[in-house]
Structure 1
Amino acid sequence: MDMKPLSVKNLTAITTGELVQGSDEVLIQYGAYRLKQVKKPNTALFTNKRIVNWKTLEPLVPLVIVTNRSYSQDEIPRHVIIIKVMNTDEAYWKFVHFYRSQFDIPIIAITGTSGKTTTKEMIKHILSAGKKVTATTLSSNSRTASLQYLLRIDDETEAAVFETAVGSPGDVTNAGKYFKPTIGIITNIGAHHLNYCKTLEGYIQAKGEMVDIIDPTGSLILNAEDVNTQKIDFSKFQGRIIKIGKDASCDFRASNIRYGQNGMHFTVHHNWLAYEIFVPGFGEHQVYNALAALAAVSDLGVPIPVAARHLYTFRQLNKQLQKFEGINHSILLDDTWSITTTSLEAALNVLNSLGEGKKKIAVIGTITDLGSWGYIIHEQAGELIYRIGVDVLITIGEHARIMADQAVRLGFRAPVYAFKNTTLVYDLLHDIVDENTILLIKGDMYSKQISKLATELKVKSSFRSE
């Protein structure tokens, strides 16, 4: 997707620069912050580094370089345009702010430990029925990725939805500088990615940056029942706070939550009216994702019955508690997209609800990306397993064993198997799984072993939705 084009003349004025070489009528269609991002002609590159190898750039002319460096006339190829500025960083942000200011559209920003991608996809699915929506998969949170996502917005875009990365303090603020969102959503705050935030307080604060980046006339959508979200100081937020949850005080309240054939049925109460909703995908957490999506689109004027109709056709995301027929006529829940204690708790609750009267087996891999927090987080996972309970526990990986040990230490009585890798797991399962078994396999996309095991345990394609 190209950005809304901008002439060199305009860019020179926006950055308060001086055109040193080249035509001011050339149109810019791409932006870049690093040389390796320049992939096509008509790109504006903001760099304070000296370019030495001009030869490699020849296929990419016309190229516009915005820089604070001085070049002699003879070293620059003829079709390279140079805009000289006092400070390259300042010029870059002037360009970013100018670009964003051209569009008066709703921009929704989503952060949280889990549910971000699902909520984003639900919102995109509902809005796309009637609008041209730009959405991001902001799994990379560098300023370069944010720039590319911002430049996808053009004159035809009617709404944009993006998730902000949550790695470290400043990520949400940085994304906010680009997108200046009008609606913010915090799905929940669990203890994930602590590696970068040092403490849970730091992590909560990093999510709380959402308060500062939302337009003062905008809205902030919060999970009213999330304990850590309640620790954020919202006193300086001037916009509307919209609460979702099961409590009577919620603006979008869910009641009568129940499991269906391939998803959740519930009633949503809003402004003294009640609506029946079905959302594909299992678990109470999926109801919260749907509530956040309904609150966001409702804020943009989509009537709840219309949103509900589109939500019904939402395609559940791959490897997120997807239901399959497993080996020996069992039911298999493939939840191998990502793993946090928040999503593990959700998965175990789904296993218990769907597995009433069945033998419930959980196969759980290591929680990655925790650094020095690994031990504590795996102990917390063990507590969850003990508290929620399963009939057979199988862990895979050195760290995952900590979960098993902790569960047993607390008094977990069911059979426990702790494996270093998946080599022996399939044969064990083949012996203990039957048609009265429901099997959860929980890991993340970085564990090739667990993904492979999940594939081996499937008999055929996913059960059909209702």
Structure 2
Amino acid sequence: MKPLTVKKLTAIIAGKKEQGIDEVLIQYGAYRLKQVKNPNTAFFTSRRIIDWKSLEGFSPLILVTDWTYRKNEIPKHVIIIKVANVEDAYWKFVHFYRSQFNIPVIAITGTSGKTTTKEMIKHILSAEKNVTATKLSSNSRTANLQYLLNIEDETEAAIFETAVGAPGDVSSAGEYFKPTIGIITNIGAHHLDYCKTLEGYIQAKGEMVDILHPTGTLILNAEDVNTRKIDVSKFSGRIIRVGKDASCDFRASQIRYYQHGMQFTIHHKKANHEIFVPGFGEHQVYNAIAAIAAVYEVGVTIQEAAKQLQSFRQMSKQLQLFEGINQSLILDDTWSITTTSLDAALKVLNSLGDGKKRVAVIGTITDLGSWGNKIHEQAGELIHRMGVDVLITIGEHARIMADHAVKLGFKAPVFTFKNSTLVYKLLQDIVDENTIVLVKGDMYSKSLHELAENIKK
């Protein structure tokens, strides 16, 4: 955080200092008690603090509050700034802090690929710039303040992942970050427990259009059906489309698998560039094109971006290839699961498994609410359409995929399990050196993680 004095903060939030020293420097911010982890923290709260002893180790603590305490109730080492309304004061502080920095700020949302795209952008920009970014896929709305305060005088660019758990999440992130460049990687069906419908989820992702600076840049996946449903008519900035279509501003062609990654040609402004990106699948190409388009806006040439991408480290548990039991190959894709990422994973399985026995072990898709049955049936349609040689599902909802695939005419062997206990023994019996196994689930499925680890060599 770029430090500021108690006196400065008091003026910014139109408060009144009731106790303490003006010259004390504020170096951290918090709006929840558990976020107070260091001395010199400005803590915004309307709740009455009773257990002052637990906060003794964080002195000096700067308390910004609209609660009226009794005389001598607050310890002398606590600095008090009284305000009329804590929430108003908090947002005045947030808006002031963001206004101090005139740098490129990139915000990324999407059902799949946002973490990888963000990490690619960070990797490319870090070669020449001081960059701050969200940590891996830690994108909870409660972390927004800390990520904002990571921007300091030395920061030259910032990249933030803005997830959607519910409508308003992207808008809230925009209040903090005020991005100059926005990316929507794709929109599948996810978090329907809070967004209620697919249309609601699309609208929630579409909040990206509203949070961008009026002269900013919006980068869209031109081929994604749901992304095309977003109304961009009122956006006054520049729209860049990426994909394979001839109309795209950054167009990919000649996409092919090549030694632990993807090789392709990118076409931009009548020039062609050969690109290699680590990580399997056409979806990885889309991640790379979006990343290249974003850094190009920041001033990095495509040649420089291509050179940096070659050393990009593939994300853990995202279609990583390993040697497995009985000399088989294992595709560990246990980071997340949506119908969008399942589609991508099955395409990779079929490409790498050409001429081999293809086994898919698939877990439950979460965060669907009342849409659980329908989305799992859609997953079954995917499996039926794309085909595998053996299907194994783990979990009650995952069984819906298998049942629906069979109903549609899926002919390959199908095994359904409530948990993973018996799956390891089954795989021992059916896999060999001519088999590739996809394990597909999410980061919260401990049993699938363990299974993936156990069947690796």
Q: Classify the TM-score, shorter chain.
A: over 0.9
Q: How does 1:258-277 map to 2 (within 5 A)?
A: 258-277=256-275
Structure-2 change in CA distance of 1:102 and 1:138 (3 Å): farther
Cα deviation, residue 59, structure 1: 2.0
Unaligned segments of structure 1, at least 5 residues: 460-466
CA contact (8 A) 2:265 2:274 kept: yes
1:95 to 90, 93, 96: 93
Q: Deviations over 1:391-439 (max 9, x none)?
A: 1111111111110100000001111111122122122212221111111
**If the length of structure 1 is used for normalisation, what is the TM-score?**
0.96
CA contact (8 A) 2:141 2:169 kept: no
Aligned to 2:365: 367
AA at the equivalent of 2:81: I
**Which deviates more from structure 2 when the two are superposed, residues 364-373 or residues 92-101?**
364-373
Distance 1:401 1:82 in 2: 57
What is the RMSD computed on CA atoms of the aligned residues?
Answer: 1.1
AA at the equivalent of 2:65: T
Structure-2 change in CA distance of 1:143 and 1:258 (3 Å): closer
**Which deviates more from structure 2 when the two are superposed, residues 219-228 or residues 418-427?**
418-427
Distance 1:139 1:441 in 2: 20
Distance 1:139 1:426 in 2: 29
Q: How many residue pairs were aligned?
A: 457
Q: How does 1:340-355 map to 2 (within 5 A)?
A: 340-355=338-353
Aligned to 2:118: 120
Q: How does 1:33-44 map to 2 (within 5 A)?
A: 33-44=31-42
SS at match of 1:122: helix
Aligned to 1:415: 413
1:231 to 229, 232, 236: 229
Q: Deviations over 1:159-199 (max 9, x none)?
A: 11011121100000000000000000000000111111001
Aligned to 1:464: none
Note if 1:320 corresponds to 2:318: yes
Q: Deviations over 1:66-89 (max 9, x none)?
A: 112223442221111111111111
Distance 2:399 2:240 in 1: 41
CA contact (8 A) 1:138 1:165 kept: no
Note if 1:400 corresponds to 2:398: yes
Structure-2 change in CA distance of 1:458 and 1:113 (3 Å): same
AA at the equivalent of 1:406: H
CA contact (8 A) 2:139 2:161 kept: no
2:448 to 447, 450, 466: 450
**If the length of structure 2 is used for normalisation, what is the TM-score?**
0.98
AA at the equivalent of 1:448: K
SS at match of 1:209: helix
Distance 1:362 1:139 in 2: 25
Aligned to 2:146: 148
Cα deviation, residue 320, structure 1: 0.4
AA at the equivalent of 2:416: A
Distance 1:371 1:338 in 2: 17
CA contact (8 A) 1:401 1:418 kept: yes
Q: How does 1:288-299 map to 2 (within 5 A)?
A: 288-299=286-297
Q: Deviations over 1:428-459 (max 9, x none)?
A: 21222111111111111111111111111111
1:436 to 434, 437, 452: 434
Aligned to 1:6: 4
SS at match of 1:104: coil
2:57 to 56, 59, 74: 59
Q: Deviations over 1:331-390 (max 9, x none)?
A: 111111111110000000011111111111111111122122111111000000000011
Distance 2:86 2:426 in 1: 61
Distance 1:450 1:373 in 2: 23
SS at match of 1:264: strand
**Which deviates more from structure 2 when the two are superposed, residues 140-149 or residues 118-127?**
140-149
SS at match of 2:246: coil
SS at match of 1:217: coil
**Which deviates more from structure 2 when the two are superposed, residues 292-301 or residues 28-37?**
28-37
AA at the equivalent of 1:15: I
Q: How does 1:48-197 map to 2 (within 5 A)?
A: 48-137=46-135, 139=137, 143-197=141-195
**Which deviates more from structure 2 when the two are superposed, residues 425-434 or residues 261-270?**
425-434
Aligned to 1:384: 382
Distance 2:37 2:176 in 1: 22
Structure-2 change in CA distance of 1:67 and 1:299 (3 Å): same
**Which deviates more from structure 2 when the two are superposed, residues 72-81 or residues 14-23?**
72-81
Cα deviation, residue 137, structure 1: 3.1
Question: Quick one: percent identity of the two aligned structures?
Answer: 76
AA at the equivalent of 1:267: T
CA contact (8 A) 2:261 2:280 kept: yes
Distance 2:252 2:134 in 1: 28
Unaligned segments of structure 2, at least 5 residues: none
AA at the equivalent of 1:274: N
Aligned to 1:463: none
1:47 to 45, 48, 52: 45
AA at the equivalent of 1:265: Q
CA contact (8 A) 1:382 1:403 kept: yes
Cα deviation, residue 58, structure 1: 2.0
Cα deviation, residue 4, structure 1: 0.6
CA contact (8 A) 1:33 1:144 kept: no
Cα deviation, residue 55, structure 1: 2.4
2:14 to 7, 13, 16: 16
CA contact (8 A) 1:223 1:245 kept: yes
SS at match of 2:76: coil
**Which deviates more from structure 2 when the two are superposed, residues 279-288 or residues 60-69?**
60-69
Cα deviation, residue 36, structure 1: 2.2
Q: How does 1:239-318 map to 2 (within 5 A)?
A: 239-318=237-316
Distance 1:349 1:259 in 2: 12
AA at the equivalent of 2:178: K
AA at the equivalent of 2:335: W
Aligned to 2:207: 209
SS at match of 2:375: helix
Q: Deviations over 1:219-249 (max 9, x none)?
A: 0000000000011100010110000000000
Note if 1:332 corresponds to 2:335: no
**Which deviates more from structure 2 when the two are superposed, residues 300-309 or residues 75-84?**
75-84
